[in-house]
A and B are shown apart, each in its own frame.
Chain A
Amino acid sequence: MNVLRINGLTKRYGRITAVDELSLEVEQGMAYGILGPNGSGKTTTLGMVLDITHPDSGSFEWFEGQYGSDARRHVGALLETPNFYPYLNAVDNLGIVAHIKQVKAPRFDELLKLVNLYERRSSRFRTYSLGMKQRLAIASAMVGDPEVLIFDEPTNGLDPQGIAEIRNTLQRIAETGKTIIMASHILDEVEKVCSHVAIIKNGHLLASGTVGAIISDDFLVEVAAEDMPGLQAAFQTDSRIKKAELQEDGTLLLHLENETPAAAINEWAFSKGHTLSHLRIVKKSLEAEFLEITANQ
């Protein structure tokens, strides 16, 4: 099922266009990363699909429209900072979330244990450290077991230990097959948690696809020949190639440890009896692009 479809979404603040004709699709079960430097329009985009920011044009649709305007009750989201009532404790704060989402039997203890806050469940939110606030926000997003979880810079401002804890929690959630949408400016974070990624800069979509194809450290080459299964088999057994996977468009994606000239790859294929009909170096371009845009912030 299609979980979220964004179509030409645009938001302008005065003369600045924060999000420019952005379109993307998130399918059920994906861990979808939105990767871009600070100020690239990630939070604005999430704000629009969560109805707190009015788009200037474009549209979006949750769950193929099956819940109508009630869709947000099926989404657990954390945007920018954790926002809770500082004078209430963790359980009371989660109680408000459960009330809004109309969750009949919320399992707060379980959630609080998952994010390591069970011992402090009766302390007021204002006494929490930043890491604890962030963890409560994750628990809060999971109240009522929503179909989709949205995290915006979930490790922002945390110390290395906190970052590791949050990432582990997110990885565990992703492994359960739940749909996750995560915005981040950290390449490493998206790579660890997400299966799919969209890279945006200045509100434009630069690229989207599987994480493996877009931001792996490997050198990637796309090839095709008449006998695809034979080609795959030939390359899979080649020790110079880490992985050879068939893609949806019918081409074969080769993962190599080091940068290799196209001529060499062509020669390898020819020596195995395959004539390449297609050969394209995919890799470094996007990786380089992303490093460049993140270096410019």
Chain B
Amino acid sequence: MLYLLRLEWKKIRKLASFRLFSVCYLILLPAILLTGLRFDELPPPINSNEVFFMFPTVWQYLGYIGNWLCFFFFGFLSIVVVTTEHSYRTMRQNIITGLSRQQYFLSKFYLIVVVSLLAALYYALCGFTIGYLNTEAIYWHKVWQHADYIPRYFLMCFGYMAFGLFLGFMIRRTGIALFLYLAYIMFIELILRWGVHLQIAEHRSMHFYPMNAVEDLVSLPFMEMADEFTSKYGFSIYLQPLEASITVLVYSGLFLYLAYWRVTRSDL
């Protein structure tokens, strides 16, 4: 495993998009939350900007920002690391040089696991630091109250990256894969869920779509609209964290299996 991870590191260390995406993530994750400093008074139900930075709610707000950042930067990264190796024909050369197809696939799999882990660790670090500096009285049970957001955050990032890997291996073209990734998450799945599924059956099964489950792992902290939805349809707009986790694991497993199947079967 270390052999494959070191290989990936040699490859992406000087990759421009990897550097750009990492720096953007590292800066933007705390920076966007801190722009909340400029809004002292907020409309209800938030009222004050303090909740952004205090335990335990800092986990939710920071997590929501991270959700968007992981969706963009790490989702894109997982596509780019696969499709560029196709366009440079370096995947083919890796196999000729001696890597097996299984090893090649595993190297990408390990990469997204490690990137997701590091992203979640950084989220935890930012959350602790911001929370610690902005909470007047620190009660440890308050700090840990939403700390389950950290593993959920990891799974969220992994879910986006597994989907990206799947698209990268299936489609092979950077532009088309990125477009489909954005289009599916931002439009296609929404149309399927709200425009098709909900019209056919008003049932909470409409939430069990792969990218919705990923988003619900670290979801929108504003509850107003959620209550409205619940009173109208009789079920929550969100998946329970456990439901979301299992759904993400099942879909990610499926995506990764299909990507693996493609790698081992196709001519390069």
- Residues on A lying within 8 angstroms of B by beta carbon are 47, 50-54, 69-70, 72-73, 75, 77, 79, 81, 83-88, 92, 95-97, 99-102
**In the complex, which of the residues A53, A54, A84 contacts B90, with contact meaning CB atoms closer than 8 Å?**
A84
Q: If A52-B95, A79-B96, A100-B7 touch, does A87 touch B90 (CB 8 Å cutoff)?
A: no
Nearest-neighbour CB distance to chain A for B7, whole angstroms, equals: 5
For the complex, give the distance between the alpha carbons of A102 and B99 in Å: 10
Interface check B100, CB cutoff 8 A? yes
Q: If A81-B89, A83-B90, A84-B88 touch, does A97 touch B97 (CB 8 Å cutoff)?
A: yes
CB pair A101 B97 closer than 8 Å: yes
Nearest-neighbour CB distance to chain B for A51, whole angstroms, equals: 6
- Residues on B lying within 8 angstroms of A by beta carbon are 3, 6-7, 10-11, 14-16, 88-90, 92-101, 265, 267-268
Q: If A83-B89, A86-B88 touch, does A52 touch B14 (CB 8 Å cutoff)?
A: no
What are the residues of chain A within 8 A of B99 when measuring CB–CB?
A: 100
What are the residues of chain A within 8 A of B100 when measuring CB–CB?
A: 51, 69
CB pairs A–B below 8 angstroms (15 shown) = A50-B95, A69-B100, A72-B95, A72-B98, A77-B97, A83-B90, A84-B93, A85-B90, A95-B10, A96-B10, A99-B7, A100-B94, A100-B97, A101-B98, A102-B3
**In the complex, which of the residues A50, A92, A99 contacts B96, with contact meaning CB atoms closer than 8 Å?**
A50
For the complex, give the distance between the alpha carbons of A81 and B93 in Å: 10
CB pair B98 A100 closer than 8 Å: yes
For the complex, give the distance between the alpha carbons of A72 and B100 in Å: 9
Nearest-neighbour CB distance to chain A for B189, whole angstroms, equals: 34
For the complex, give the distance between the alpha carbons of A205 and B115 in Å: 50
Nearest-neighbour CB distance to chain B for A180, whole angstroms, equals: 16
Q: Give A78's nearest chain B residue, CB to CB.
A: B96
- Shortest 7 CB-CB contacts between residues of A and residues of B: A73-B98, A83-B93, A83-B89, A52-B268, A72-B98, A100-B97, A53-B267
Nearest-neighbour CB distance to chain A for B43, whole angstroms, equals: 47
For the complex, give the distance between the alpha carbons of A79 and B100 in Å: 17
What are the residues of chain B within 8 A of A50 when measuring CB–CB?
A: 95-96
What are the residues of chain A within 8 A of B88 when measuring CB–CB?
A: 83-86
Nearest-neighbour CB distance to chain A for B264, whole angstroms, equals: 9
For the complex, give the distance between the alpha carbons of A53 and B92 in Å: 10
Nearest-neighbour CB distance to chain B for A16, whole angstroms, equals: 14
For the complex, give the distance between the alpha carbons of A99 and B97 in Å: 10
What are the residues of chain B within 8 A of A77 when measuring CB–CB?
A: 96-97
Q: If A72-B96, A72-B98 touch, does A87 touch B267 (CB 8 Å cutoff)?
A: no
For the complex, give the distance between the alpha carbons of A95 and B92 in Å: 17
**In the complex, which of the residues A73, A75, A88 contacts B14, with contact meaning CB atoms closer than 8 Å?**
A88
For the complex, give the distance between the alpha carbons of A96 and B7 in Å: 7
**From B93, B101, B265, residue with most partner A Cβ within 10 Å:** B93
What are the residues of chain B within 8 A of A86 when measuring CB–CB?
A: 88
5 other A-B residue contacts (CB within 8 Å) besides A52-B92, A84-B88: A73-B97, A83-B89, A83-B93, A92-B10, A100-B97
Nearest-neighbour CB distance to chain A for B33, whole angstroms, equals: 33
Nearest-neighbour CB distance to chain B for A196, whole angstroms, equals: 23
CB pair A83 B92 closer than 8 Å: yes
**From B7, B16, B265, residue with most partner A Cβ within 10 Å:** B7
CB pair A70 B16 closer than 8 Å: no
For the complex, give the distance between the alpha carbons of A84 and B99 in Å: 15
For the complex, give the distance between the alpha carbons of A128 and B68 in Å: 39
What are the residues of chain A within 8 A of B89 when measuring CB–CB?
A: 81, 83
For the complex, give the distance between the alpha carbons of A77 and B7 in Å: 19
Nearest-neighbour CB distance to chain B for A278, whole angstroms, equals: 45
CB pair A53 B11 closer than 8 Å: no
What are the residues of chain B within 8 A of A99 when measuring CB–CB?
A: 3, 6-7, 10
Nearest-neighbour CB distance to chain B for A130, whole angstroms, equals: 15
What are the residues of chain B within 8 A of A100 when measuring CB–CB?
A: 7, 94, 97-99
CB pair A54 B98 closer than 8 Å: no
CB pair B92 A85 closer than 8 Å: no
For the complex, give the distance between the alpha carbons of A230 and B90 in Å: 59
Nearest-neighbour CB distance to chain A for B169, whole angstroms, equals: 15
Nearest-neighbour CB distance to chain A for B88, whole angstroms, equals: 6
For the complex, give the distance between the alpha carbons of A95 and B13 in Å: 13
For the complex, give the distance between the alpha carbons of A236 and B99 in Å: 52
Nearest-neighbour CB distance to chain B for A103, whole angstroms, equals: 10
For the complex, give the distance between the alpha carbons of A54 and B92 in Å: 13
**In the complex, which of the residues B7, B16, B267 contacts A52, with contact meaning CB atoms closer than 8 Å?**
B267
For the complex, give the distance between the alpha carbons of A255 and B169 in Å: 56
What are the residues of chain A within 8 A of B14 when measuring CB–CB?
A: 87-88, 92
For the complex, give the distance between the alpha carbons of A86 and B11 in Å: 11
For the complex, give the distance between the alpha carbons of A227 and B145 in Å: 101
For the complex, give the distance between the alpha carbons of A77 and B99 in Å: 13
CB pair A87 B15 closer than 8 Å: yes
Nearest-neighbour CB distance to chain A for B13, whole angstroms, equals: 8
Q: Give A48's nearest chain B residue, CB to CB.
A: B267
